Structure 1
Amino acid sequence: MLATIDWVIIAAYLLFSLIIGLWVARQAGQNSTQFFAAGKNMPWWLLGISMVATTFSTDTPNLVANIVRTDGVSGNWVWWAFLLTGMLTVFVYANLWKRSGVLTDVEFYELRYSGKMAAFLRGFRSIYLGLVFNVIVMATVSLAAIKISGVLMGLSPVETVVIGGIVTVIYSTLGGLRGVLLTDFFQFFLAIGGSLIAAYVALNHPQVGGLEGLLTHENVVGQLNILPDFSDPAQALGIFIIPLAVQWWSVYYPGSEPGGGGYIAQRMFAAKDEENSIAAVFFFNAAHYALRPWPWIIVGLCSLIVFPDIASLKEAFPNASGVADHDMGYPAMLTFIPTGWLGLVVASLTAAYMSTISTHLNWGSSYLVNDFYKRFISPDSSEKELVMVGRISTVVLMIIAGIFALLLQNALESFQIILQIGAGTGLLFILRWFWWRINAGSEIAAMVISFAVAMYFQFGHVHTGLPALTGWQELVVGVVVTTIGWVAVTFMTRPTDKETLIHFCEVARPGGPGWQKVIKDAESENRDLEPLKDEAWRVPQGILCMVLGCIAIYGTLFATGYWIYGRWILASLITAVVVGASGFLYKAWRKLIEIQPEEELY
């Protein structure tokens, strides 16, 4: 349990976060752009670090530990596959989002589509994402905090939700996005340091016996493979082939949206220019996939030796037995950290929790205020009123998320539910920038169908008498059904208004063959959209950068693992590949920038 010095360290961090919120409160309260987009003048390094801190949540190491304990290291491909999405966002979509000039990605709907359906989509999506979807994610994060505090602090679930929620809400409502970014900067380094301490202590546990003892233990040897066992088709399909072949482009998941979106888009909107937007998202993906996973993986592997099954976790932590599952392996190993260091690690986990929750509070509130309240309830509202409504909605979101967190049991379970809800919508989010025919009806259909399929698999299939499907089978069915549905609706409904399409091309300049009809329509009206013809060439070069970026980051991930495993020759070869791919990426990236100089566009 925590000693006095540990509590002092945690309290000092919480006080520091509140001071930052107070420091920037006045500037954040000037207008809605300051509160939700930090004035749109932030540098890439601050935005990139903030993205990493946001995705480094209390539930993330728990989720990774759960995966490692049940499916081995290779099981992490269910989220490693999203690097493909991230790199596509970096080199194809980041500059497009920044050009759009919107405050939220939901506002994008009335820039891209027209009519009452576009307005309905914007309003409905603001509630669906800002309230429903957002609350599910925050509840999952809070569930992890409940398990960690139950193990390390002896707090009840209600105490955890109330204490954590109050502190986070205070500095989130005061500082807006600027306060979130500044606290994220410090939270990033604290969280990284805490995970390294946790891995070091776990390796030195007497039952583990250091790195050599870990890698040779019978409970761990079968879990070490970075790639799955291809002699077992069921495993290879579920954790590797389907994520890389289908999941990354077809599924909407917060932080990994195909084509960008959510709080990643919010950070891009806050960048000072397109180059800072692109660099921020690249840094995020590099750090998220290559820098952070191995400390979590090591702790998860160590937990298999000390707590080999759920029964051992329940026996060791009777006060948390009601929520004990494999994802408790990570916080269980933290109990062996000595006094002082334990306070620092708990502070790092507190930082991880606060960074994620504060981002989701501000992001969700931006939808509710900008895309629902201002758009539909009070169009003439003043900037001060919008900030006030934003602060109120922040508090309401936290209360709802806290209540929902008390009903959840497992982080991996909620992760899979979220994946299924978004199954099949990803391709639409990718294509809507490059195919004029996609309309608001397409998006509404994708959203409704994917949700209906997810609810069927979660609650309805037990009443049909049909055989149960595995997780990846449900995902594929959801993708196929949803994709067929939204494509059919696209051709059955009216296209977007011609004037709206032309205006979108003028603002975002997406380019590509999918916009040739719009360009011809504009030319028939003597409107010059000539730069769009050149923009089409950015995409092939962007995809080349995407491939090279994936090779460099995946290579770094693999090389780190094989260095840890002591496989020197393989680690050296992969490291050489990383160096080569990074060199080619640098050249390809520079060429991408030179393809369309900014001054030629005006």
Structure 2
Amino acid sequence: MSTLDWIIVAIYVFAAIAIGLLFTKKASASTTDFFVAGRSLPWYIAGTSMVATTFSSDTPLFVAGAVREQGVYANWIWWIGLIGIMVSVFFFANLWRRSQVLTEIELIRLRYDSSIFVDGLRIFKALFDGVFINSIIIASVTLAMSKIIVAILGLSSEPLFVLPLFGAITATTAILILLSVAAVAYTALSGLYGVVYTDLIQFGLAIVGAIALAVIVYVDLLPQGGIAVALQQAPGFKTDTLNFFPELNWDLKTATFAILLVIGWWNAAPGSSFYLQRTLACRTEKDAMLSLYWFAFCHIVIRSWPWIVVGVASLIYFPALADAEHAYPQMIDSFLPVGLKGVMVASLLAAFMSTLDTQLNWGSSYLVNDIYQPFIAKNKSKHHYVKVARYSMLVLAGIALLVTTQLTSILSAYEYIAVIITPVSLVLIMRWYWWRINVWSEISALIGAAVIGNAMLWILPDEKGEHWFAVRMLITTVITLVLCLTVTLFTSRKGPSEQTKRFYQQLRIHGSGWERVRVETQVEPVSAGIKDNTIACISSIGFIYCLLFSIGYFIFDQLQLAIINLVLAGFFGFIIKQKLPSIIRKLKEFPIQNNIAQ
């Protein structure tokens, strides 16, 4: 790292803090301003913020490491999420924005009859998602950032001093603490306003740095015949490294791919976490829908290949790395010149801070909106709740740093979350389109997923390099679904409650799952054009996947397959152009009403 590189890094950190100061007054007006930016975001701001946040410091390390260990097809663990995102675009985004809730968990209060069990579910989910899952995510990006700092800066691992609970504090730990303090500071000052606008800077830095590194590496391999040829000559070359799909054999790799294809996208479909927070922060239903669409395109098409190219190339330059997740920072240190290295390091620091600020703001929204305000301190001033939100961020940051000391692998963290969350996701999908889903449906799904998912870690542990997480996820999902459906049918025999009817009257959801409620209330659903939405959804999935594969095949010199996929992408794009305008027009025609209850 040269002086110029450090200057670039410093400029970003100071810019982030300056943005926090700029929006302090605006964010302090109310919790709506602090947590969802006053519902004022246009689609391109909200969508870009989602992209920036998902480009956390652990993501390129995870992708490059997965490519090294398993091959390009390992990326299906996150590529498959595109299906869920597109389902969310066409079937959930507008409903979320129409509901006008402040958090995902607040929907529990609107959807189910008021009771101690509903309150308990709301509190539990606020703690589980806002603290437990949140801490694991923050810990994974902190672990990644520590690997980046060690590989690029080459700092000593000798402890500077020791703190109770946290243990030895090294130079790397000290830098992470300073970055965390900066992120907490500007997020606490500016709320979601500061988060999304610093994300714009982070997105620009990240794209420039990632593409620059990939291009430099790709060009460097041209004298060897290109990246595909050079890889074949590398020590330990595996023939399936460049496969976009696993070979269809009766083995664990094929089973993992099939399971991901069927259920791996469920958790993205109903909307959750910071994606949903940005959706709720959009100014209209149209913006909510398009923000997710823009995010999906950038997330899958624009960002995939720079990371994958670097991961593949690392097998050529560093074939014997002990830790696959060190590959990406090693490539940065070896290939980027002065200036560009500063941009890349700044982008990774920004990615760390971007994810941290988002997770803290999102987690704080659960603690304040779904626990503190309704159950601990009712009817306080708006400024009081904003102040509590700022303090809660400090608590979340401290808990996350403790979890970081226990985390050893980024990939294992993602796999654990997937096993626990996916089984519950189907219930979260069904609660929008089937009136019989009730509070006991969610409670039974949560208990089933937690018990079975954790039991599967002992019954089917990962051994000898084999990853059984998808099988664990499938077994957990099947058992949880049977349990949940049994509980649902038993507890909803009396028919739709008054709260269920009010929920339907507000949102006027289409589909046969609300037919009985529709008859009893005599309220017609909004004409959503299910056929057009379904065609547009499927075409959008085909368009983005074909464009993704086309770019990849071009990179790896498989021109025939590249052209075929490009033609298919054009075909799907034509269908989207025909359907999307009419879908958007229907969204604009529907007036947004007030919340069902306060």
TM-score (norm 1): 0.90
The aligned counterpart of 1:318 is: none
2:380 alignment counterpart: 381
Which residue of the other structure, out of 536, 552, 555, is the alignment partner of 2:543? 552
Alignment partners' CA distance in 2, 1:177 and 1:61: 25
Q: CA deviation at 1:407?
A: 1.7
Does the 8 A contact of 1:41 with 1:272 survive in 2?
Answer: yes
Cα gap change, 1:477 to 1:232, in 2 (>3 Å):
closer
Distance in 1 (CA, whole Å) between partners of 2:258 and 2:153 is 40
Deviates more, 1:61-70 or 1:151-160: 151-160
The whole-number CA distance in structure 1 between the counterparts of 2:289 and 2:253 is: 35
Structure 2 CA distance, aligned partners of 1:587 and 1:267?
Answer: 27
CA separation of 1:114 and 1:458: change in aligned 2, threshold 3 A:
same
Match of 1:242 in 2: 259
CA distance in 2, matches of 1:7, 1:161: 16
- Is 1:302 the counterpart of 2:317? The answer is no
The amino acid across from 1:217 in the alignment is: Q
Residues 101 and 569 of structure 1, relative CA distance in 2, 3 Å threshold: same
Paired amino acid for 2:262: A
1:114 alignment partner, SS class = coil
Gaps of at least 5 residues in structure 2 are: 156-169, 594-598
Aligned equivalents of 2:422 and 2:272: distance in 1? 16
Name the structure 2 match of 1:370: 369
Post-superposition offset of 1:490? 1.1
Structure 1 counterpart of 2:568: 577
Q: Which is worse superposed, 452-461 or 61-70?
A: 452-461
The 1:445–1:246 alpha-carbon spacing in structure 2 relative to 1, beyond 3 Å, is same
Amino acid in structure 2 at the alignment position of 1:272: R
Give the drift of 1:594: 4.6
Task: State the match for 2:233 in structure 1.
Answer: 217
Residues 307 and 102 (structure 1), Cα distance of their counterparts in 2 relative to 1, 3 Å cut: same
User: Aligned to 1:425, what secondary structure does the other structure show?
Assistant: helix
Q: Following TM superposition, where does structure 1 have runs of at least 4 consecutive aligned residues deviating by more than 4 angstroms? A: 204-210, 459-462, 494-497, 594-597, 599-602
Which residue, 576, 580, 589 being the options, matches 1:589? Answer: 580
What residue identity is the alignment partner of 2:568? V
Residue 203 of structure 2: SS of its match in structure 1?
helix
Shift, 1:232, TM fit: 5.4
**TM-score relative to the length of structure 2:** 0.91
Q: Which residue of 2 aligns with 1:180?
A: 195
CA contact (8 A) 1:158 1:406 kept: no
Shift of 1:521: 2.1
Alpha-carbon separation, structure 1, partners of 2:245 and 2:53: 27
Is this contact kept in 2: 1:130–1:365, CA < 8 A? yes
Q: Contact 1:113–1:496 at 8 Å: present in 2 too?
A: no
1:194 and 1:344 in contact (8 A); partners too: yes
Whether contact under 8 Å (1:198, 1:295) holds in the other structure is: yes
Partner of 1:279: 290
SS of structure 2 residue aligned to 1:222? coil
- For 2:251 and 2:459, the matched residues in 1 are separated by 28
**Displacement of 1:470 after TM fit?**
2.3
Q: Secondary structure at the match of 1:201?
A: helix
Amino acid at match of 2:121: L
The answer to whether structure 1 residue 327 and structure 2 residue 345 are counterparts is no
Q: Is the contact made by 2:460 and 2:468 (CA closer than 8 Å) also made in structure 1?
A: no
Report if the CA contact (8 A) 2:420-2:473 is conserved. Answer: no
Judged with a 3 Å threshold, the aligned counterparts in structure 2 of structure 1 residues 388 and 595 are, in CA distance, closer, same or farther, namely closer
Query: Per-residue deviation at 1:111?
Result: 0.6
Deviation of residue 469 (structure 1)? 8.6
Report the equivalent of 1:566: 557
Unpaired runs of 5+ in structure 1? 312-324, 463-467, 524-528
What is the alpha-carbon distance in structure 1 between the residues aligned to residue 588 and residue 188 of structure 2? 40
Distance 1:596 1:43, change over 3 A: closer
Distance 2:587 2:10 in 1: 51
Q: Deviations over 1:368-420 (max 9, x none)?
A: 00011001111112111110011111111111112211221111111111111
**Separation of aligned partners in 2, 1:597 and 1:26:** 31
Deviation track 1:322-368 (CA, whole Å, cap 9, x = no partner) reads: xxx21111111111122222111100111111111111111110000
Distance in 2 between residues matched to 1:96 and 1:374, nearest whole Å: 24
Aligned to 1:393: 392
Q: Is 2:245 the partner of 1:227?
A: yes
User: Conserved in 2, the CA contact under 8 Å of 1:220 and 1:305?
Assistant: no
Is residue 433–residue 509 contact of structure 2 (8 Å, CA) maintained in 1? yes
Task: Tell me if the contact between 2:285 and 2:588 (Cα under 8 Å) persists in the aligned partners.
Answer: no
Please give the secondary structure, in 2, of the residue aligned with 1:310: coil
1:54 corresponds to which letter in structure 2? T
CA distance in 2, matches of 1:601, 1:372: 26
Task: Quote the Cα distance in structure 2 between the aligned partners of 1:160 and 1:600.
Answer: 49
Q: CA deviation digits over 1:27-74, x for unaligned, max 9? A: 111110000010101100000100000101111111111210111001
* Distance apart, 1:517 and its partner CA: 1.3
The AA in structure 1 aligned to 2:287 is N
Cα distance in 2 between the residues matched to 1:477 and 1:282: 31
Letter in 2 for 1:246: I
Structure 1 residue 214 displacement after superposition: 3.6
Question: What's the offset of the Cα at 1:243?
Answer: 0.7
2:215 aligns to what? 200
Provide the rounded CA distance (Å) in 1 between the counterparts of 2:566 and 2:578: 19
Paired residue for 1:190, among 189, 199, 205? 205
Aligned to 2:158: none
CA contact (8 A) 2:221 2:230 kept: no
**Cα distance in 1 for residues equivalent to 2:367 and 2:87:** 28
Identify which range, 79-88 or 471-480, moves more after superposition: 471-480
Partner of 2:121: 121
Contact 1:208/1:305, CA 8 A, preserved across alignment: no
Change (3 A) 1:394 1:208: farther
Which residue does 2:160 correspond to in 1? none
Q: Secondary structure of 2:109's match?
A: helix
Question: What is the aligned length?
Answer: 568
Deviation at 1:98, TM superposition (A): 0.5
Q: Identify the residue that residue 163 of structure 1 maps to in structure 2.
A: 178
Give the equivalent residue in structure 1 for 2:596.
none
- Residues 552 and 577, structure 1, Cα contact 8 Å, conserved in 2: yes
> How far apart, CA to CA, are the structure 1 residues paired with 2:44 and 2:428?
26
The one-letter code matched in structure 2 to 1:235 is K
C-alpha separation between the residues in 2 aligned to 1:382 and 1:595? 38
SS in 2 for 1:335: helix
Residue in structure 2 matched with residue 64 of structure 1 by the alignment: 63
Shift of 1:180: 0.4
Pair 1:575–1:206, CA change in 2 (3 A) = closer
1:154 is matched with which residue?
Answer: 154
Moved more, 30-39 or 574-583: 574-583
Q: Give secondary structure in 2 for the equivalent of 1:224.
A: coil
Deviations, residues 308-334 of structure 1 (Å, cap 9, x unaligned) = 1334xxxxxxxxxxxxx2111111111
The one-letter code sitting in structure 2 at the alignment partner of 1:330 is Y
Equivalent residue letter for 2:181: I
Instruction: Indicate how the Cα distance of structure 1 residues 545 and 3 shifts in structure 2: closer, same or farther if over 3 A, else same.
Output: same
